[in-house]
Amino acid sequence: MGIRTLIVMLVASLLVIAILATQPAYSLFLPQLLEGALLTAQITVLGALLAVVMGVLAALGKLYGPAPVRWLANIYIEIFRGTSALVQLFWLFFVLPQFGISLEAYTVAVLALGLNIGAYGAECARGAITSVARGQWEAATALNMTRGQMLRRIILPQAFVAMIPPWGNLFIELLKSTALVSLITLSDLAFKAQEMNQTTMKTIPIFTLVLVIYLAMSLVITIGMRYLEGRASRGLARGRTV
Amino acid sequence: MTDKPIVRFDKVSKRYGPLTVLDSLELDIFRGEKVAIIGPSGSGKTTVLRMLMTLETIDDGVIWVDGEPLTHMERNGKLVRADQAHIRKIRARIGMVFQSFNLFPHMTAMANCIEAPMTVLGMKRQDAEARAADLLDMVGLAQKKEHYPSQLSGGQQQRVAIARALAMRPKIMLFDEVTSALDPELVGEVLQVIRKLGSEHDLTMLMVTHQMGFAKEFADRICFFYQGKICEQGHPKEFFGSPKNDRTKQFLHAVLEAG
């Protein structure tokens, strides 16, 4: 889909929200839902930042680290990819305090979801890094670069372009999995919806609004990643400005 | 040419599993010498360059550069495997141009040429750019310095790659089948640059090539590899004029036949 179509979809979904907001049956719920959406957005953004850092570090560790770092990276990836995000949330929120470490629900949400998505992201990053042609390493070796210089200046800038589309998928996964944080006392978008649904039974307006709000947020991610991809692959033909 | 070799392969062997690619190779190359390495595919000729560039490890023997071991270093009077720091120190004297160019696609021609001088040699941007501009001018691409590799023809890319390697001021240049990936009409412009390099610089050059005409006219010495060994070597005049070895005769016959 072209980026223009995506923008049209985003504008349309915002319009739908605006139109529904003029209806008393809907507008009643909107402030609470938007409040929840703000928390959802915050957790998504912070989680995504953590995921990127962890994903790239784990990929580099797994590929090029000394043995202990490789093991650590592998253990991290397997644990956080191999168990459910819900169990990770519960473990950090309910079990960790038993060992004397109590974290706020908000912190746990960002940590668990960021680490979870980061584990998937690590494998995307690893794939992207190893897909850079071997000749690039060889040319950098022939220019007597150190391994760090090769990675930083030659390999990673090319790998990032290949990482963007799969990472876009993961960020949308992340957005959707934030609904889980309602189970550790946080009032996110999904939680607000459930809460109001239970007290008012107005299922249709509440969940229609929630659906459109989630869609709008995921469209923002898709458009953002598409923009980045365009810039980065132009950047692949641009790089260091001279 | 002096008597002290600038590159010495001292009984160097390279094996891939049961396959011996190079068998106890002994080869001296002298300062300023232009050596063309020819031979059928699988004869180990490219491996010679790749080992010298440290892109391949060696299984036996020692490679010496300018009187110092490249693959090894001295410790308590004995030669042990070189560490990265030692390899980088010696490797700084060598540059290489590849069959498939291997330019950095995310950088312009200019950026390709200043990258290593800045990051590896720590040159100031201004100085690196001045040096790169001279080199790009020398290879005839002064007008193309802001172009990206994807915007250049194969011959132009290869000339940028030559400039990029020269920007590190190597004493020894390795050319690995640098015209093999080019369309026939682009071969000439790259060979022209190499010719110019040979006449204007005091570089030692080692090239693996299939361009027999060029080798004959340009090289001081031809080394013919066959099955991991130097089968015959000599001045191009003798080598092409009166080859002694039967393998050489067969090979030359086959290549010249193909035109």
> What whole-number distance in Å separates Cα of residue A170 and Cα of residue A119?
10
> How confident is the model at residue A163, as a pLDDT?
92
Asked if residue B145 belongs to a domain, the reply is yes
**What CATH topology corresponds to A3-232?**
MetI-like fold (1.10.3720)
B165, B205: one domain: no
B31, B75: one domain: yes
Alpha helices for B22-166 (secondary structure H): 45-52, 84-91, 109-119, 125-138, 154-166
A149 Cβ contact list (under 8 Å, min separation 6): A140, B119, B120
Cβ–Cβ under 8 Å, residues B228 and B27: no
> What whole-number distance in Å separates Cα of residue B48 and Cα of residue B52?
6
Q: Which of B88, B98, B111 sits opposite A135 (nearest CB)?
A: B98
Coil, strand or helix: which one is B25? Answer: strand
Asked if residue B203 belongs to a domain, the reply is yes
- B78-106, pLDDT tens digit by residue? 999 999 999 999 999 999 999 999 999 99
Contact assignment for A139 to B104 by CB distance below 8 Å: yes
Contact assignment for B120 to A144 by CB distance below 8 Å: yes
B120, B239: one domain: no
**Best A131, A136, A143 residue to mutate vs chain B (most B CBs within 10 Å):** A143
Task: Note whether B96 contacts A: Cβ–Cβ < 8 A.
Answer: yes
Domain range summary for chain A, segments of one domain joined by +: 3-232
Please say which residue of B150, B169, B188 terminates a domain: B169
CATH code of the domain covering residue B114: 1.20.1580.10
B239, B130: one domain: no
How many other CB atoms sit within 10 Å of the CB of residue A211?
Answer: 13
Chain B residue numbers with beta carbons less than 8 Å from the beta carbon of A135 are: 98, 100, 102
Q: Which of A139, A238, A240 sits opposite B102 (nearest CB)?
A: A139
Max Cα–Cα distance, chain A, nearest Å: 70
Average pLDDT of chain B, as a whole number: 93
Task: Note whether B110 contacts A: Cβ–Cβ < 8 A.
Answer: yes
Strands B78-81 and B94-97, bridge-based pairing: unpaired
Below-70 pLDDT ranges, chain A: 1, 234-242
B77, B191: one domain: yes
> How confident is the model at residue A26, as a pLDDT?
87
* Per-position b or e across A155-171, b if 16+ CB within 10 A of its CB: bbbbbbbbbbebbbebb
Task: Note whether B256 contacts A: Cβ–Cβ < 8 A.
Answer: no
Task: State the Cα torsion B189-B193-B196-B198 to the nearest 10°.
Answer: -130
B42, B163: one domain: no
Asked if residue B88 belongs to a domain, the reply is yes
Contact assignment for B120 to A135 by CB distance below 8 Å: no
**Best B50, B98, B119, B160 residue to mutate vs chain A (most A CBs within 10 Å):** B119
Three-state SS string over chain A comes to: CCHHHHHHHHHHHHHHHHHHHCCHHHHCCHHHHHHHHHHHHHHHHHHHHHHHHHHHHHHHHHHHCCHHHHHHHHHHHHHHHHCCHHHHHHHHHHHHHHHCCCCCHHHHHHHHHHHHHHHHHHHHHHHHHHCCCHHHHHHHHHCCCCHHHHHHHHHHHHHHHHHHHHHHHHHHHHHHHHHHHHHHCCCCHHHHHHHHHHHHCCHHHHHHHHHHHHHHHHHHHHHHHHHHHHHHHHHHCCCCCC
The more confidently predicted of residues B87 and B200 is: B87
B58, B119: one domain: no
Tokens matching residue A51? 């995921």
At position A206, the amino acid (one-letter code) is I
B150: nearest CA in chain A?
Answer: A237
Residue of B48, B89, B87, B64 whose CA lies nearest to B6: B64
B9, B88: one domain: yes
B94: nearest CA in chain A?
Answer: A142
Tokens matching residue B8? 């010495």
CATH code of the domain covering residue B34: 3.40.50.300
> What whole-number distance in Å separates Cα of residue A156 and Cα of residue B157?
22
Q: Which of B55, B108, B114 sits opposite A141 (nearest CB)?
A: B55
Cβ–Cβ under 8 Å, residues B52 and B94: yes
Contacts 24+ apart (CB under 8 A), B232-236: B236/B36
Contact assignment for B104 to A154 by CB distance below 8 Å: yes
> What whole-number distance in Å separates Cα of residue B31 and Cα of residue B8?
11
pLDDT at B137 over 70: yes
> How confident is the model at residue A81, as a pLDDT?
93
Tokens matching residue A26? 């809907």
Q: Which A residues in the span 128-157 are in contact with B, Cβ-Cβ below 8 Å?
A: 133, 135-136, 138-146, 149, 153-154, 157
Task: Note whether A238 contacts B: Cβ–Cβ < 8 A.
Answer: yes
B138, B30: one domain: no
**Best A131, A134, A144 residue to mutate vs chain B (most B CBs within 10 Å):** A144
pLDDT at B205 over 60: yes
Contact assignment for B106 to A135 by CB distance below 8 Å: no
Range of the domain at B244: 5-93+172-258
* Mean pLDDT of the region B110-137: 97
> What whole-number distance in Å separates Cα of residue B26 and Cα of residue B69?
15
Tokens matching residue B208? 């693996």
Asked if residue B98 belongs to a domain, the reply is no
Tokens matching residue B209? 């090539």
B84, B189: one domain: yes
Please say which residue of B149, B169, B189 terminates a domain: B169
Coil, strand or helix: which one is B59? Answer: coil
Task: Note whether B112 contacts A: Cβ–Cβ < 8 A.
Answer: no
pLDDT at B2 over 60: no
Task: Note whether B147 contacts A: Cβ–Cβ < 8 A.
Answer: no
> CA quadruple B105, B111, B114, B118: dihedral positive or negative?
negative
Q: Which of B104, B110, B119 sits opposite A136 (nearest CB)?
A: B104
Q: What confidence tier does B259 reach under pLDDT thresholds 50, 70, 90?
A: low
A136: nearest CA in chain B?
Answer: B102
Tokens matching residue B162? 């030559």
> How confident is the model at residue B257, as a pLDDT?
79
B162, B176: one domain: no
At position A53, the amino acid (one-letter code) is V
B82, B12: one domain: yes
Please say which residue of B137, B169, B201 terminates a domain: B169
What are the CA-CA distances from residue B228 to residues A206, B11, B36 (Å)? 77, 12, 16
Strands B5-16 and B60-65, bridge-based pairing: antiparallel
